[in-house]
Amino acid sequence: MIWNKAESAPREEIEATQLERLRETASRVYAISPFYKQKFDELGILPQDIKSIDDIAKLPFTKKQDLRDHYPFGLFCVPMSEVVRIHSSSGTTGKPTVVGYNAHDMEVWNEVMARVYTMAGVTAKDVVHNGYGYGLFTGGLGFHYGAEKVGATIVPASGGFTDRQLMLMRDFGATVLACTPSFALHLAEVAAKAGSEFRKDYKLKVGIFGAEPTSKGLKEAVAKSWDIRYQEVYGLSEIIGPGVSSSCEYSDRLHIFEDHFLAEIIDPKTGEVLPEGQRGELVITTLTKQALPIIRYRTGDITSIIKEPCKCGRTHARMESIVGRADDMLIVNGVNVYPSQVEHVIANSEGVTLNYQIIASKKGHLDKLEIMVEVSDDVMRDNIGELENIKKRIQDDLLNNLYINAAVKLVEPSTIERSMGKAVRVIDKRKEA
Ligand SMILES: [Zn+2]
């Protein structure tokens, strides 16, 4: 089931729509926003210079700091009388980023969320248990109005109160669970402890999860514990909130709603646009937002995008589940290494725990990478042969999957220092040198 036929439009039609909307958006911000006018002028570019989609590479980037610098409403492009909703980040590290929506933007948001729900097979017959937090965070209300748009019954449970949430899910016959994956797992664990028989006590068939970085292992654990399909949703408040992209039933990759969002992948160090399929930082331009249009927003999220059509019939390009954060990236002998990728390899290795540390250092002119991993309790630590095998397997996997040549060092459980209860994952000694 596809909510809007725009999701299955021919590629040329999608790109023609994007170009038209990109030009409109550029013209609007140039005319209305002093911030963007100055940025365009500095680069010597005018909105009418955009002749093809590729010309987007000539436009300036927008960063999170730009939103902070113009706190709270400095980047809005409509009068406040037109703004109908404000959301904001928690601002735990400085000023929060504030975003605003006019009535048209709300329609766009509900539309893209309706697409997400339809991808999950949700209809008017479903009961959606919404465990995303309601408030300034975009999760709660984003999922709320999208569910209403497809005519489903929404239960605005918000976060917390695990036992009560489980009771409501059971008694109201929730068929859809929307919340963060870690909360879904927590709910499942509590339900299991209470002796629930999931298939009998609950009617859940699908979960729509997002809003936090998630490893493949966690996704599988959530899907397995509830015995449901795991649908992933991606979004960020600076762009709209949840509903930028979502995975369909045929693919782990997430369809980007390209008629509303223009996505690029850039090299996080040089800012250069990378070819299709290559991994880099996701950059998004809003194509239809009015209150807070954003040009080339640097999400800091690492992913790749492919445009080949999907079995589901949608033609919108697909991004991988976020691989890591651009800030965490290490460059080792010219190869980009993301700690989350290393973690993925370790998670799939036998005989070791997820307590590890990546240490980068210099050896002559070359970078050296060492990965310390604590072995699990059940490994025979006096069996040198077994330890050698474990070590070699991890080294081979790192080389074959990530093209990195690392020396793996196995250590005893609880050897790696924890600071404030949290292990330090990466130590880059090259910076100190
Ligand atoms: Zn698909």
Closest CA to 307 of 249, 262, 266: 262
SS3 of residue 377 by DSSP: coil
Please tell me the distance between residue 221's alpha carbon and the centre of ligand 1 in angstroms: 23
Average pLDDT over residues 350-376: 91
- 134 alpha carbon – ligand 1 mean position (Å): 29
Query: Averaged over 252-278, what is the pLDDT?
Result: 96
State the distance from the centre of ligand 1 to the C-alpha of 217, rounded, in angstroms. Answer: 22
Tell me what pLDDT residue 422 has. Answer: 55
**320: DSSP letter:** P
**Residue 360: predicted pLDDT:** 93
pLDDT (average), residues 160-185 = 95
Rounded to the nearest angstrom, the distance between the alpha carbon of 115 and the centre of ligand 1 is 12
Q: What is the DSSP letter of 135?
A: S
Q: Give the pLDDT of residue 93.
A: 64
Q: In angstroms, what is the span from residue 310 Cα to ligand 1's centroid? A: 5
CA distance 198 to 184: 13
pLDDT at 421 exceeding the cut of 60: no
Q: How far is the CA of 206 from the centre of ligand 1 (A)?
A: 16
Q: What is the pLDDT of residue 378?
A: 83
| 381 pLDDT more than 80 | no
CB-based contacts of 71, cutoff 8 Å, min separation 6: 95, 96, 97, 98
Q: Is the pLDDT of residue 433 over 90?
A: no
The residues pairing with 322 across neighbouring beta strands, listed in sequence order, are: none
**Average per-residue pLDDT in the chain?**
93
Question: What is the CA(336)–ligand 1 centre distance, in A?
Answer: 29
Question: In the predicted model, what is the mean pLDDT of residues 12-27?
Answer: 98
Q: Over the stretch 335-354, which tens digit does the pLDDT of each residue have?
A: 888 888 888 899 889 999 88
Can you give the pLDDT at residue 336? 82
Q: What is the pLDDT of residue 317?
A: 98
The DSSP 8-state label assigned to residue 258 in this structure reads T
Q: Which two tokens stand for residue 76?
A: 């809005």
CA of 99 to the centre of ligand 1 (A): 30
Instruction: Give 244 Cα–ligand 1 centroid separation in angstroms.
Output: 14
How confident is the model over 121-149, as a mean pLDDT? Answer: 97
Name which of 215, 212, 214, 245 is nearest 137 in CA terms: 212
What is the pLDDT at residue 91?
64
Please tell me the distance between residue 309's alpha carbon and the centre of ligand 1 in angstroms: 8
Distance (Å) from CA 2 to ligand 1 centroid: 10
250 C-alpha to ligand 1 centroid (Å): 6
Q: What is the pLDDT of residue 411?
A: 93
Mean local confidence (pLDDT), 425-429: 89
pLDDT value, residue 423: 60
Q: Are 50 and 22 in contact (CB under 8 A)?
A: yes
Q: How far is the CA of 20 from the centre of ligand 1 (A)?
A: 25
**pLDDT computed for residue 355 by the predictor:** 84
pLDDT in tens, 201-258: 999 999 999 987 777 878 988 999 999 999 999 999 999 999 999 999 999 999 999 9
Question: Quick one: average pLDDT of 28-49?
Answer: 98
Report CA(144)–ligand 1 centroid distance (Å).
23
| Burial tier of 203 (Cβ tally within 10 Å: 0-12, 13-18, 19+) | middle
Enumerate residues 6+ apart whose C-beta is below 8 A from 157: 129, 130, 131, 165, 168
CA of 169 to the centre of ligand 1 (A): 29
pTM of the model: 0.86
79 pLDDT higher than 90: yes
290 CA → ligand 1 middle, Å: 28
Distance 377 CA to ligand 1 centre (A): 42
In 194-323, alpha helices (H): 198-201, 216-226
Residue 253 contacts residue 306 (beta carbons within 8 Å): yes
CA of 252 to the centre of ligand 1 (A): 9
325: confidence class by pLDDT, cuts 50, 70, 90: confident
Q: What is the pLDDT of residue 402?
A: 84
| Range with lowest mean pLDDT among 319-333, 339-353, 408-422 | 408-422
**pLDDT value at 86 more than 90:** yes
What are the distances in angstroms from CA 118 to CA 146, 149, 153, 253? 10, 10, 14, 16
Ligand 1: distance of its center to the CA of 281 in Å?
A: 22
Peptide bond into 72 cis (omega under 30): yes
Query: Rounded to the nearest 10 degrees, how much is the dihedral formed by the CA atoms of 240, 8, 220, 397?
Result: -100
Q: What percent of the chain clears pLDDT 70, i.e. is strictly above it?
A: 97
286 Cα to the center of ligand 1, angstroms: 22
How close is the Cα of 6 to the center of ligand 1, in Å? Answer: 13
pLDDT over 90, % of the chain: 76
* Distance, CA of 139 to CA of 135 (rounded, Å): 8
For residue 315, the CA-to-ligand 1 centroid distance in Å is: 8
Separation of CA 3 and ligand 1 centre (Å)? 13
Distance 249 CA to ligand 1 centre (A): 7
Is the pLDDT score of 324 beyond 70?
A: yes
**Centroid of ligand 1 to alpha carbon of 190 (angstroms):** 33
* 321-335, 351-365, 415-429, range with the lowest pLDDT: 415-429
Å from CA of 125 to ligand 1 middle: 23
Residue 419 has pLDDT above 80, yes or no: no
Average pLDDT over residues 181-197: 91
